[in-house]
């Protein structure tokens, strides 16, 4: 059995669908549908053997009520990812304490544990190597993830089983419509284009020209494959392409392509997809909001050296154009 927390969310639901693609159906889905029941739509046509609410799951873990011998891996995607959330106690309970509880359960039974971290730990840093001097989060979300990363780092010398943190950069792909304001720019730009033919993005800021702010956009299916690799899941052919035979992995790695692209690039790719013989649409540049000054990442680009050299993950990433085409193939 494979546990996927946050299983009805954006990345978690894509993970379950990816597991189904490789023939894995014994999946234990954990989530919280009390505040956003629309997430269930992400699990349409997905196959999983059981579901449990997050609160009940935490109690089950704490009381050892689950059959640990059946658990092959834990893919921990469950967290509060709202960067605008300012309730620190709520954020730390969801992103730190919950993760810590699950980590120690995995360590107790030597279960591979792969969890979601975030590039938000870097804040306004211009360097994205996963080392402490580059880590300066701007919000409680990034802070909560960094605190857990550092907790894992302190334990790593004593850990014998797989424990891997993946710092997701700017993720996009299918099944993120429920995220509202927290959805990717691909999702928002696509909606704008379909509604009125105009994509709105910020004027020049942070030393970048109009729409030339750059992010490391990573396709969600690539992140799913990365999770499966570190958890030891997937067939031998898939794993042999990595040139790595070892069975355990430890570390906190960047999960990005290593190549930033501009918002203008995103808009152009979307206009190609949604054109369908009509006018391609246009771009409108709007003033940069004053309330984002000092709190906005104008540039992100994952340093993937540690991912490749220490983690052994060398699979090529999907290009921006191909990822957008696949995401909106039926749009």
Mean pLDDT of 236-262: 75
pLDDT for 262 beyond 60: yes
Give the pLDDT confidence score for residue 109 in this predicted structure.
96
Confidence of residue 245 (pLDDT cuts 50, 70, 90): very low
Q: What is the CATH number of the domain that holds 228?
A: 3.40.50.720
What is the rounded average pLDDT of the residues 303-330?
93
The CA distance from 106 to 176, in Å, is 28
Q: What backbone phi and psi angles, to 5 degrees, belong to 297?
A: -85, 105
Query: Cα(31)–Cα(286) distance, rounded to whole angstroms?
Result: 37
Q: For residue 166, is it within any domain?
A: yes
What's the rounded Cα separation, in Å, for the pair 184 and 188? 7
Q: Is 13 domain-assigned?
A: yes
Residue 236, pLDDT > 60, answer no
Q: What is the mean pLDDT of residues 62-70?
A: 92
**SS3 for 248?**
coil
Q: What is the mean pLDDT of residues 57-66?
A: 95
204 in a domain, yes or no?
no
**Rounded distance between C-alpha atoms, residue 83 and residue 80, angstroms:** 8
Residue 18 domain-assigned (yes or no): yes
In tens, the pLDDT along 68-114 reads: 889 999 999 998 777 777 789 999 999 999 999 999 999 999 999 99
Residue 187 — pLDDT band, cuts 50, 70, 90?
Answer: confident
Asked if 208 is an active-site residue, the reply is no
pLDDT tens, 175-185? 987 767 777 88
Residue 199 counted as domain residue: no
Give the separation between CA 120 and CA 23, rounded to whole angstroms. 33
Catalytic residue among 115, 141, 168, 313: 141
H or E segment to which residue 3 belongs: strand 2-5
Domain-embedded: residue 289: no
Residue with more model confidence, 31 or 281: 31
Mark out the alpha helices in 79-197 (DSSP H runs): 88-92, 98-108, 140-155, 185-196
Q: DSSP for 192-242, please give it.
A: HHHHHSEEEEE-SBTTB-TT--EE-EEEHHHHHHHHHHHHT-S-HHHHHTT
Contact 312, 243 (CB under 8 A): yes
Q: In Å, how far from its chain's centre is CA 151?
A: 20
Residue span of the structural domain in which 310 resides: 2-173+219-258+301-317
Mean residue pLDDT of the chain comes to 90
Q: Has 109 been annotated as catalytic?
A: no
Structure tokens at 203: 């004027």
- Does residue 213 lie in a domain region? no
What pLDDT, on the 0 to 100 scale, is given for residue 276? 62
Q: Which of 51, 90, 179, 285 is catalytic?
A: 179
Q: What total of structural domains would you count in the chain?
A: 1
**Within a 10 A sphere around the Cβ of 194, how many other Cβ atoms?**
13
Long-range interactions of 152-160: CB distance < 8 A, separation 24+ = 152/103, 152/252, 153/252, 155/103, 155/107, 156/250, 156/251, 159/107, 159/250, 160/110, 160/248
Compute the distance between CA of residue 121 and CA of residue 145 in angstroms, rounded to an integer. Answer: 7
- Tell me whether residue 70 is in a domain: yes
């Amino acid at each position: 059995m494979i546990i996927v927390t946050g299983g009805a969310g954006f990345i978690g639901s894509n993970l379950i669908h990816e597991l189904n693609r490789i023939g894995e159906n014994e999946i234990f889905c954990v989530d919280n549908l009390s505040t956003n029941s629309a997430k269930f739509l992400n699990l349409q046509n997905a196959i999983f053997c059981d579901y449990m609410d997050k609160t009940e799951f935490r109690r089950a873990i704490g009381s050892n009520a689950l059959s640990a011998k059946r658990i092959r891996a834990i893919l921990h995607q469950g967290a509060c990812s709202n960067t605008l959330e300012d309730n620190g106690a709520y954020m730390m309970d969801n992103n730190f304490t919950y993760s810590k509880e699950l980590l120690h359960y995995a360590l107790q039974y030597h279960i591979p544990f792969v969890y979601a971290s975030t590039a938000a730990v870097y804040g306004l840093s211009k360097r994205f190597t996963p080392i402490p001097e580059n880590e300066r989060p701007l919000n409680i979300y990034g802070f909560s993830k960094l605190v857990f990363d550092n907790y894992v780092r302190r334990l790593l010398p004593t850990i014998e089983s797989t424990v891997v943190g993946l710092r997701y950069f700017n993720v996009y792909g299918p099944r993120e419509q429920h995220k509202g304001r927290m959805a990717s720019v691909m999702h928002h730009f696509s909606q704008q284009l379909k509604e009125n033919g105009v994509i709105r993005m910020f004027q020049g800021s942070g030393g970048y020209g109009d729409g030339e702010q750059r992010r490391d956009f990573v396709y969600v299916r690539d992140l799913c494959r990365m999770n499966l690799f570190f958890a030891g899941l997937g067939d031998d052919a898939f794993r042999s392409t990595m040139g790595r035979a070892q069975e355990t992995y430890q570390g906190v790695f960047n999960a990005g392509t290593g190549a930033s692209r501009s918002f203008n690039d995103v808009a152009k790719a979307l206009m190609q997809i949604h054109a369908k013989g009509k006018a391609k649409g246009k771009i409108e540049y709007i003033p940069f909001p004053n309330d984002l000054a000092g709190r906005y990442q104008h540039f992100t680009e994952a340093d993937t050296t540690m991912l490749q050299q220490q983690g052994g993950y060398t699979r090529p990433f999907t290009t921006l154009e191909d990822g957008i085409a696949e995401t909106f193939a039926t749009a």
